[in-house]
Structure 1
Amino acid sequence: MASEKKITELPGASTDSSDTEIETRVPGGLSEKKLLRKLDLRLLPAVSILYLLSFLDRSNVANARIEGLTTDLGMTGNQYLTGLTLYFIGYVLFEIPCNVVLKRTTPKFWLPTLTLVWGIVATLMGVTQNLSGFFAVRFFLGVTESGLFPGVVYYLSMWYKRSERQYRISLFFSCASLAGAFGGILAWGIAHMRHVGGYNGWRWIFILEGLLTIVVALIAYFFISNYPVSVSWLSDDERSYINARLKADGDATNDEQFSWAEVWVACKDVKCWLYGFAFHTMSLPLYTLSLFLPTIIKDMGYTAAQSQLLTIPPYALATVFTVVVAVVSEKYGRRAPFVIFTSSLAIIGYIILLSNTNPKARPGVSYVGTFFAAIGIYPSVALVLSWPANNVSGQTKRATANAMQISIGNCGAVIGTQLYRPATSPRYVLGHSFALGYLVANIFVVTTLWWILNRENKKKSEYLAEHPATKGFHDSEEDLAQGDRHPRWRFNM
């Protein structure tokens, strides 16, 4: 972005001739690099653990299914799909309200509270006795998990500069694929508890993983931090330094009150809708893969136990790929070309899956397709989800844009939960074809967004060339109120 003025507010620090470079020595002798490492170690593990548990508790139903969930509850395959759909309906309906609550409370209260409540709901899944109970628990699991991801994205935007957020959000999101790998080996082990206490193995998957979430949530009240201005583990010099670097970079230090007018500003911005559609076109492939991969692999001819274990390698490789792509994307300061590249890898994966006309005769071919799908989908989603945190200003508008993105995006997941019907096994032509089509649409949406962002940056450059005396982003309350509409704000592409 673009504040063009030097950072003179840093206590004890100096600036060089660049308008955007900060002296890397923090008062008290701590380097900026070490300060960032301190923030990373304090903030990222805490929220990443919560997100890992969130993704584990929403996707372990896929592991439970092949351990007898549908048989014990007397569900048809299509009724099971309805339960998956209800989760995302609850998720979408309560996305924006949950972010409004975060804005009006604090992360230290709201994030652990959400985790505690969904942990209780997830545990209840293990004692569900009928179809109605399954439907109710899935819906309320979606409601209680809806606020975590957009809340954390907004939370990180209050700690890190724009150029630093994408890598952190991608690391945070990599826990989604890590949860897939972790969930596979957990399900394989827990399934051996079948008949313990008179419960089948699938019940213990929900009960033990839900109880783990509850325990972590209670501890989280002590390890989740609030914003830089109030945490006790920063010195006064460090707090002042963080405040100054954020003030020069964006709006994170503004004392902005919640405003419905800013919510409406976000709703009128076409870019906010495109961020949403960029995730919409990725959420269908993302959730169909995470919710159906164990079943897809099992229908290649493997046993339930083998299928649980075979989900681990694609997810593990996707985790590594997500981090690597995030690092390279951050280095070059680009999002769109990397999303297009990784989405293209996923397209190759679904072409392989669709081209194999007999998965049971040639399971290795389809299994290779799942690798391409995973290593393409997860990095793309991570990059897409980090975009609004980098590009939207001020605070209420950004919180709204983040919530809009997840709400619009998860409508794709709602559709996806109805596609992998038992009648289409083992090729799943309907589901794979939709995923392939959505990935192609993702490339179109991302290309359009790239073009719009580039066009707006050019317009701002032309305006500044004609009005070189234009004030900096932080020169007045009026300038701050313009947010990302300010002429000196630059969009990351």
Structure 2
Amino acid sequence: MASVDPSSNPIKEKAESLTSSQGRVASTPGESQGDGNHQVASTITYTREEEKRLVRKIDWLTVPILTALYLLSFLDRSNIGNAKIEGLVTDLGIKDYGALLSIFFVGYVIAEVPSNLVLKLTSPPIWLPTLTLVWGILSVGLGLCKKEVDIYLVRFFLGVAEAGLFPGSVYIFSMFYPRKERHYRVSLLLSGAAASGSLSGILAFGIAKMGGVGGKPGWAWIFILEGLLTIVVSIAAYWIVPNYPNVSKRFTPREKEIISARLSKDSDALDSEAFNWEGVRQAFKDPYVYLYSFLFHGYAFSLYSFSLFLPTIIAGLGYKSWQAQLLTIPPYFLAFLVTMSVAHASFLVGKRLVFIIGSGLVAILGYIVQMTSPTLGGKYVSVFIVASGVYSGNALLLSLPSENISGQTKRATALAMQIAIGDVGAIAGTLLYRIPLGSLKNKNYNVSHGLAILWLGFGILSASLLWFLLGRENRRRDALASRRSAEKGEGDGDATQQETEVLGIDELRRLGDRRPDWRYHV
């Protein structure tokens, strides 16, 4: 990676656009370029084919392993739903299944921000595999539990161990990809959750037949074998998870230069920013961070209650346990396809929030069908609709902070805050999916489905506020730039860029996404 000349102005270089070989200049940072050679800051040139090869290499180094780890994390947190219909609750005498599910998210919420800060202080190849190894061991421990109190304790620490993986993975993507490319990779990551649902059904169907082997019931073997799988992958992950591009040995000096050129357009990934409490304070004081968090809060209710209770809901339609395990597979497979299709459409259109809102409305439609359909077939079809809306919406909304927040420590903190505050919605969902629900009979979970609609409505409201507020702020900054350009007169250059130069590098880094030349993705 090329060193930065202290006498140069890297902030100006960030604001400058790429120039094609034909001399066409992008007017805004991050704008897509035409084919041909590219030049960044008049020093680094590379062809479109070089860029494509490098992006493919980055994709292969980051996406498969991080998606695999997230698939395993979702598998190890949600397989309790498969274990339930195989006799877990009865065998351990669990009095409150909803509380058992919620204790996981209590640990998850508590550890979210600290875990991402540890990632900032260490490195991805050390921290993420270590987390995976720990929760794999804990997952095996679930299968060894003999008392109700044991499984509560292990589920709590399982949440603590898994807390840092998803926000940490999103943070890693922000260090490799320009802003406009991140949401697609995050969607691939979350597609691992949908894929884990299908895998969980297949594995549970087969593993449950081991009931009695070694004197252990089938549900115990579900935890043990899936936990052992996680342990094996975690050990390999120490050699597979990539380090940050500027220190990674997997890229040539030329490739590091191109990565630097790509990121310099609209990212702070090249800054050598040490951990700082100012970035943490900025995240906690930013109202947009809370809206990102409330958005996930609204959608997380459905994401986790659906994944944890789907086997129970299907079994409640009159199917045997082995049939319910298999019938969970098709809805998750459709959710995977829809999630990737919506992510691609969002990328092509260049919009995020309108697709998030649309996905939430689709999920609401699914819940309405589930509550009102008089037929077994209609109720089963409804879970396809819910899965499609819930997973596609969450895949897009979880990438928003990584695209819209500048300042590495602030972004790492905000990503963790989004998951932590969002997963309070998951706690609510797991506690409110029970029969009866207080004094309410809650037949077929209909009252719980209605509450899921309310939570999704809250998420849609948060998305609508973000759409309005971020769009208004972009227009305000555009108008300010236009007015200052007009005041300076033609030929004086771009007023916003000149203003960034006047502010100075340290001040611009402190401002982060509040700097005058920053535009939010909506």
Using a 3 Å threshold, how does the CA distance of structure 1 residues 346 and 31 change in structure 2: closer, same or farther?
same
Q: In 1, Cα distance between the equivalents of 2:196 and 2:48?
A: 39
CA deviation vs aligned residue, 1:138-170 (integer Å, no higher than 9, x gap):
100000000000011111100000010000100
Structure-1 residue corresponding to 2:431: 418
Whether 1:18 and 2:26 are equivalent positions in the alignment is yes
1:393 paired to 2:412: no
In 1: Cα distance, 2:208 partner to 2:176 partner:
41
Aligned to 1:489: 518
CA shift for structure 1 position 24: 5.6
Q: Residue 51 of structure 2 contacts residue 258 of structure 2 at CA under 8 Å; is this kept in 1?
A: no
Compared with structure 1, are the counterparts of its residues 393 and 28 closer, same or farther at alpha carbon in structure 2 (3 Å cutoff)? closer
1:190-229 mapped onto 2 (5 Å cutoff): 190-229=207-246
Is 479-488 or 210-219 further displaced after alignment?
A: 479-488
State the TM-score, normalized to the length of structure 1.
0.95
Structure 1 segments (4+ residues) deviating >6 Å? none
1:471 corresponds to which of 497, 512, 521: 497
Give the secondary-structure state (helix, strand or coil) at the position aligned to 2:496: coil
| Mapping 1:366-381, distance limit 5 Å | 366-381=379-394
Pairing 1:182-261 to 2, within 5 Å after superposition: 182-261=199-278
- Structure 2, unmatched stretches of 5+, are 1-10, 38-44, 486-494
Q: Which amino acid aligns with 2:278?
A: A
8 Å contact kept, 2:370–2:382: yes
2:73 partner amino acid: S
- 2: CA distance between counterparts of 1:117 and 1:487? 44
Name the structure 2 match of 1:48.
67
Is 1:446 aligned to residue 463 of structure 2?
yes
Q: How far is 1:75 from its partner?
A: 1.6
Q: Which residue of 2 aligns with 1:125?
A: 142
Displacement of 1:429 after TM fit? 1.9
C-alpha deviation, 1:425, in angstroms: 6.0
Moved more, 477-486 or 104-113: 477-486
1:35 aligns with 2:54: yes
Give the match for residue 71 of structure 1: 90
What is the aligned partner in structure 2 of residue 94 from structure 1?
111
Shift of 1:353: 1.2
For the pair shown, which has the larger CA radius of gyration, 1 or 2? 2
Contact 1:24 1:33 survives alignment (8 Å): no
Residue 84 (str. 1) matches residue 101 (str. 2): yes
**SS, match of residue 146 in structure 2:** coil
1:21 and 1:72 map into 2 onto residues whose CA distance is 58
* Structure 1 position 21, deviation (Å): 4.8
Distance, in Å, in 1 between the alignment partners of 2:470 and 2:69 is 33
Identity of aligned residues (%): 46
Question: TM-score if structure 2 supplies the norm length?
Answer: 0.89
Q: CA contact under 8 A between 1:299 and 1:426: conserved in structure 2?
A: no
Alignment of 1:301-340 (within 5 A): 301-340=318-357
Report the alpha carbon displacement of residue 15 of structure 1 after superposing the two structures with TM: 6.5
How many residues are treated as equivalent by the alignment?
484
Give the secondary-structure state (helix, strand or coil) at the position aligned to 1:366: helix
Aligned-pair distance for 1:234? 1.1
- TM-aligned CA deviation for residue 230 of structure 1: 1.5
Q: How far does residue 430 in structure 1 lie from its aligned partner after superposition?
A: 2.3
Note the C-alpha offset of 1:257: 1.4
For residues 101-152 of structure 1, give each alpha carbon's deviation from its aligned partner in whole angstroms, at most 9, with x where no partner exists: 0000000100000000000001100010010001001100000000000011
The CA deviation string for residues 435-456 of structure 1, in whole angstroms up to 9 with x for no partner, is: 1111122211111110000111
Return 14-23 or 116-125, whichever deviates more: 14-23
Q: Per-residue displacement from partner, 1:253-299 (whole Å, max 9, x unpaired)?
A: 10111111111111111110000000000000110000000000000
Q: Which amino acid aligns with 2:25?
A: S
User: 1: distance between equivalents of 2:92 and 2:23?
Assistant: 66
- 1:404 aligned to 2:410? no
Q: Distance in 1 between matches of 2:77 and 2:357?
A: 27
CA contact (8 A) 1:27 1:238 kept: no
Cα distance, 1:385 vs structure 2: 0.3
8 Å Cα contact 2:138/2:158 also seen in 1:
yes
Distance in 2 separating the partners of 1:314 and 1:342: 15
Looking at structure 1, the residues matched to 139 and 257 of structure 2 have their Cα atoms a distance apart, in angstroms, of: 41
CA distance in 2, matches of 1:471, 1:348: 47
Q: Contact conserved, 2:302 with 2:456, CA < 8 A, in 1?
A: yes
**Structure 1, residues 209-244: CA drift from partner, whole Å, max 9, x if none?**
000000100000000010111112211111011012
Give, in angstroms, the shift of residue 248 of structure 1.
2.0
Q: Within 5 A, what are the aligned runs for 1:328-367? A: 328-356=345-373, 362-367=375-380
Give the match's secondary structure for 2:275.
coil
More deviation, 59-68/346-355: 346-355
Q: Deviations over 1:188-209 (max 9, x none)?
A: 0101111111111000000000
Unaligned runs of 5+ in 1: none
Contact 2:18–2:25 under 8 Å retained in 1: no
SS at match of 2:432: coil
Cα deviation digits, residues 414-467 of structure 1 (max 9, x gap): 111111213346511221111111112221111111000011101111211222
What secondary structure is seen at the aligned counterpart in 2 of 1:256? coil
User: 2 CA distance for matches of 1:232 and 1:400?
Assistant: 27
- Measure how far apart 1:28 and its partner are: 8.6
Deviation of 1:481 after TM superposition, in Å, equals 2.6
Whether the 8 Å CA contact 1:28–1:237 is kept in 2: the answer is no
Q: Which amino acid aligns with 1:122?
A: S
Q: 1:15 to 1:257 in 2, by over 3 A?
A: farther
Q: Take 2:402 and 2:36, find their aligned partners in 1: how far apart are those partners?
A: 24
121 and 458 in structure 1: CA distance in 2 versus 1, 3 angstrom threshold: same
User: How far apart, CA to CA, are the structure 1 residues paired with 2:292 and 2:430?
Assistant: 22
Letter in 2 for 1:46: I
In 1, distance between residues paired with 2:334 and 2:32?
Answer: 36
Matched letter for residue 111 of structure 2: F
